[in-house]
Amino acid sequence: MPTHYLYRCNCCDYEGMRYRNVTRCKCGGTLVRVPTPTRRRRIAAVQHEIWAHWMRYLFSKCDFNHDGAAVIPVNLVTRWERQLNTPYAELSESEQESDLHQADKITEVLGR
């Protein structure tokens, strides 16, 4: 099983493995779990995919001027402003479902 995490001291420059459940660095600082560079890249790739999916959708709903500028229809501006100012727990069931679908993409990567 590959190791997904490194540990970094919150006090000195130590970065590396940790012995069993030791939580203290030799310097007395606390060892904080950080993802390996490979895992960070995988998470970043999924985050990029989620962003690209959203931008593709947004552009598909826009009108384009001759100069290439995208114009978001006012009904969508109104909807998206409401959504971005609404905490997740207060979104409609279908709006939450859409975010859950994106969460599944991250969950899949975190399992690796």
Binding positions for Zn ion, rule: CB under 5 A: 9, 11-12, 14, 25, 27, 29
Based on CB atoms, which residue is closest to Zn ion, 19 or 57?
19
Which residue has 């590959």 as its token pair? 2
> Rounded CA gap, 84 and 79, in Å?
9
Residue 29 CB, shortest distance to Zn ion, in Å, is 4
Nearer to Zn ion, 34 or 44 (CB): 34
CA dist 43 and 64 (Å) reads 32
* Residue whose CB is less far from Zn ion, 15 or 99: 15
**CA dist., res. 75 & res. 42, Å (int):** 35
Q: Which two three-digit tokens encode residue 59?
A: 């552009």
CB of 30 to Zn ion, least distance (A): 8
Least distance to Zn ion from the beta carbon of 21, Å? 17
